[in-house]
Chains A and B, each alone.
Chain A
């Protein structure tokens, strides 16, 4: 396991940059990771991140794109626009959650 300094805080990360301890996550860290991905977080982005975190806390798993749509109320098209080129991976990394582990 590696550590990395993000937004002035040293956090534990996987090889591909996902936080391994959700308790180390802060909103500043999210902004810094988003910046690495070339994304400036807007309210619409935060709605996705907040849903992913809340859902992860209650289910123990990263929500699928279908669940983000049906339960989170974020249309799939908007989700792809907000986090271009690999939306679930990027959103999960920004939210300090594990890398997507499902095929859909």
Chain B
């Protein structure tokens, strides 16, 4: 980059995640419209912070028309916010993690003290791997309709060929993720028979098996951000955003080294993850929909054994496209707020084979205990008591979903 761009880790103001809510993620929330799916998480973060839509200074959402097959679908989702009197509001056609980034910048300008961020997606409406082909180069690639699963498998093969991983490690990532998800009541899939048993299964897209692949998920998430003392007032243990940055790589797979993610590394550097003297993060929430992508991200983020990866189960346990990245930030923030880690890194991705990546470094104040009071996550302290989400969706068991 040209000189002088301000480092993402030295924001002029302290900004924190003060509330996070997500739906119970399901294979198909087909009894609900998007706004019906979204509204409970909006209400939950607002109620928990005691704010109304009008009391929020800036609102930003992330969603994608192509998921549901309807142009302007975000205009209908706005009905769930209660945007009256009119609100200062924006929308990105990106994962909600980037909506959070836009809101963070808005607070950094000083124009806002608080921000509401939300995103949602009903991947069940279409054939997701096919829908995602429409993201690809419209002249040279999209006419071949290469599904997202096949492209991820190309990346996995490149990693295997380079000796960066093996199929057992990938199965281990799957088992670890889905076992972790058993502790996550919002996850779609949970539990695993273990790597040995997983390796017995057939290939879905060689070299990927079903366990390497995320489920198809409907879901939504919402976050409230606040600056400085406002954050301290709204949450007992805010999760401070120490730095945040995002970068994009070249689009074409044929010009990229698929075993690496330079954009993730650069974003992490700019977000302050590698700052001299900074301790390694206690936990990482990585938006790695495929097991093999976790391998790439761990390398780019220089994560070692002292970092717990995806304690929520990650996108292998629930992958609500357009919200999955925001969920990573929310999960990391909630865990930092609960005291599970003093420092955490959250990551979001977009595009084929990790083309675009966002990294946020979150920290707690550290010193005092975190028990009681208003935490960031759900089910903590003064929750609303009302269920957060789409509880009526059909139950989904292990092995269901996937891109099959």
Whether A associates with B in a native complex is no
